[in-house]
């Protein structure tokens, strides 16, 4: 087990500087254009693939960093560049985490490479969990997966929403209900291979922020997939469902994680790191502006009203990063989140990003409200962090339940 440290080693610093250079030289110059176009920035993803950032190898190296800091460090630097483009680059990672969290070694080796493609033919993947009537309330999920034993196939029907890369993905990871009587404990995750009949893109959403990231509905109409596409395998699923049924008969018992929650618990600190990157970017723009913008014959940072805001912004950013790093280290070293530290990191970092980007606009005044300066876009982007992968209200609910042991509603 690696000791917790706030000091990056030489290799991590080298990777951080490399990512920062890519974010500064490739992502930032393209940010405004793809935000306006509201399209997937395929040329930027391809550039990331060419240098090795958008690849299974790079993702695996950061994911298995024994300090736990590889992923949050990478997320912070890429999202410092631009949140929309960065999400297009890393969005495939959520589907990959879904396979890593629930799949067999064979499934991991088979499907994750197909999620990325290669530098000459980049692919993306989508993780599909939310539904029009089932966002935070995963127990209300309606998408069904029915096993056809005669053909050893699963048949999926339903509609997913808010899916990053939904419909344009090469591989879709879909969470569906296999036993409605068990609520969220009756869910399982499935791989839908490329070009599977019955899967189509529904509505593509026009969003307030992260516009360069494709978000859409995914419609599943009698989608048939091989039995081998059930993540973890049928024997494991049957065993888990049997335990859940026994506990239900006994009136409760040990909590059983469902497939979607296993994925989100593994990814929440990473989302916190994304928020830190966006907040840091806005803070740096505001700091530079405050030191160079003059009013009444002096730089505006010479006024306490501005200087104190910047001091608070930096303090909150550093505190958010420390919470993210702690949770990331705990996760990779198998430390239980006894105080919901993963949710804490995501909650605090997401609210920091919203507050800091708003303060940056205020410091820039009228300029900050225009698209001539990037803080307007950063503020729009920051809003998503308190919503996706568990709203801020859900994070507080998770934390409160964990601390009290009570079924708070």
**pLDDT tens for residues 104-127?**
999 999 999 999 999 999 999 999
| Residue 269 and residue 380 share a domain | yes
| Residue 115 and residue 132 share a domain | no
Beta bridge partners of 118: 121
**pLDDT tens for residues 269-307?**
999 999 999 999 999 999 999 999 999 999 999 999 999
Residue 289 CA to residue 112 CA, distance in Å, equals 43
In a domain, 5, yes or no: no
- Residues 139/95, Cβ–Cβ less than 8 Å: no
| Residue 272 and residue 163 share a domain | no
Please say which residue of 92, 122, 152 terminates a domain: 122
User: Scanning the structure block, which residue is given the tokens 């939310």?
Assistant: 130
| Residue 91 and residue 153 share a domain | no
| Residue 269 and residue 229 share a domain | no
Q: Is 368 exposed, middle or buried (0-12, 13-18, 19+ CB in 10 A)?
A: buried
Extract the runs of DSSP E, i.e. beta strands, from 129-230. 144-148, 153-164, 171-177, 187-192, 199-204, 215-226
pLDDT at 248: 83
What is the b/e burial string over 92-113, where b = at least 16 CB atoms within 10 angstroms of the residue's CB?
Answer: bbbbbbbbbbbbeeebbebbbe
- Give the other-Cβ count within 10 Å of 7's Cβ: 8
In a domain, 75, yes or no: yes
| Residue 157 and residue 112 share a domain | no
Expressed as residue numbers, the domain containing 287 is 259-404
Options 265, 351, 376, 389, the catalytic residue: 389
| Residue 276 and residue 189 share a domain | no
User: Scanning the structure block, which residue is given the tokens 């706030």?
Assistant: 6
The answer, yes or no, to whether residue 260 has pLDDT greater than 60, is no
Please say which residue of 250, 268, 283 terminates a domain: 250
pLDDT at 252: 57
Q: How many domains does the chain contain in total?
A: 3
Write the Ramachandran bin of 152: left for phi over 0, alpha for psi from -120 to 50, otherwise beta.
Answer: left
pLDDT at 4: 84
pLDDT at 136: 72
In a domain, 37, yes or no: yes
In a domain, 303, yes or no: yes
Task: Name, in order, each residue with C-beta under 8 angstroms of 306's C-beta and a sequence gap of 6 or more.
Answer: 290, 300, 363
| Residue 386 and residue 300 share a domain | yes
**pLDDT tens for residues 16-30?**
999 999 999 999 999
| Residue 290 and residue 314 share a domain | yes
pLDDT at 262: 52
In a domain, 131, yes or no: yes
| Residue 238 and residue 132 share a domain | yes
In a domain, 15, yes or no: yes
**pLDDT tens for residues 352-374?**
999 999 999 999 999 999 999 99
Cα angle value 265/266/272 (rounded, 5°): 85
| Residue 78 and residue 155 share a domain | no
CATH number at residue 316: 1.20.140.10
The answer, yes or no, to whether residue 261 has pLDDT greater than 90, is no
- Give the other-Cβ count within 10 Å of 373's Cβ: 18
In a domain, 3, yes or no: no
pLDDT at 256: 43
| Residue 167 and residue 117 share a domain | no
The answer, yes or no, to whether residue 250 has pLDDT greater than 90, is no
pLDDT at 264: 60
In a domain, 56, yes or no: yes
pLDDT at 254: 43
- Residues 62/53, Cβ–Cβ less than 8 Å: no
Mean of pLDDT over the chain: 94
CATH number at residue 200: 2.40.110.10
pLDDT at 267: 77
CATH number at residue 53: 1.10.540.10
Please say which residue of 83, 102, 122 terminates a domain: 122
Residue 81 CA to residue 30 CA, distance in Å, equals 10
Active site residue 389: yes
């Amino acid at each position: 087990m690696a000791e917790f440290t706030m000091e990056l080693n030489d290799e991590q610093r080298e990777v951080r500087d490399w990512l920062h250079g890519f974010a500064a030289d490739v992502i930032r110059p393209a940010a405004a254009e793809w935000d306006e176009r509201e399209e997937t920035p395929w040329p930027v993803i391809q550039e990331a693939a060419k240098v090795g950032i958008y690849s299974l190898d790079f993702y695996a190296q950061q994911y298995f960093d024994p300090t736990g800091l590889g992923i949050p460090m990478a997320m912070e630097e890429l999202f410092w560049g631009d949140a929309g483009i960065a999400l297009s680059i890393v969005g495939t990672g959520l589907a990959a985490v879904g396979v890593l969290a629930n799949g067999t070694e064979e499934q991991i080796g088979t499907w994750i490479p197909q999620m990325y493609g290669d530098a000459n033919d980049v692919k993306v993947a989508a993780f599909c969990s939310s539904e029009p009537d089932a966002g935070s309330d995963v127990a209300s999920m309606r998408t069904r997966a029915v096993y056809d034993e005669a053909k050893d196939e699963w048949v999926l029907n339903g509609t997913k929403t808010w899916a990053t890369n939904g419909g344009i993905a090469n591989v879709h990871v879909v969470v569906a209900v296999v036993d409605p009587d068990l609520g969220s404990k009756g869910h399982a995750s499935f791989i839908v291979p490329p070009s599977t009949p019955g899967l189509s893109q529904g509505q593509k959403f026009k969003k307030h922020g992260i516009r360069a990231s494709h978000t859409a509905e995914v419609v599943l109409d009698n989608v048939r997939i091989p039995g081998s596409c059930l993540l973890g395998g049928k024997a494991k699923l049957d065993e888990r469902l049997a335990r859940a049924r026994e506990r239900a008969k006994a009136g409760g018992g040990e909590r059983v994680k469902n497939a979607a929650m296993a994925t989100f618990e593994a990814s929440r600190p990473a989302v916190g790191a994304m928020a830190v990157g966006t907040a840091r970017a806005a803070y740096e723009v505001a700091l530079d502006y405050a030191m160079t913008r003059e009013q009444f014959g002096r730089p505006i940072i010479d006024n306490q009203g501005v200087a104190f805001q910047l001091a608070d912004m930096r303090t909150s950013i550093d505190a958010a990063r420390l919470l993210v790093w702690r949770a990331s280290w705990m996760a990779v070293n198998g430390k239980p989140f006894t105080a919901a530290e993963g949710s804490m990191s995501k909650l605090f970092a997401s609210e920091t990003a919203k507050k800091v980007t708003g303060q940056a606009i205020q410091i820039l005044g009228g300029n900050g409200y225009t698209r001539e300066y990037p803080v307007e876009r950063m503020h729009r982007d920051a809003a998503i962090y308190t919503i996706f992968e568990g709203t801020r209200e859900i994070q507080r609910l998770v934390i409160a339940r964990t601390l009290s042991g009570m079924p708070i509603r």
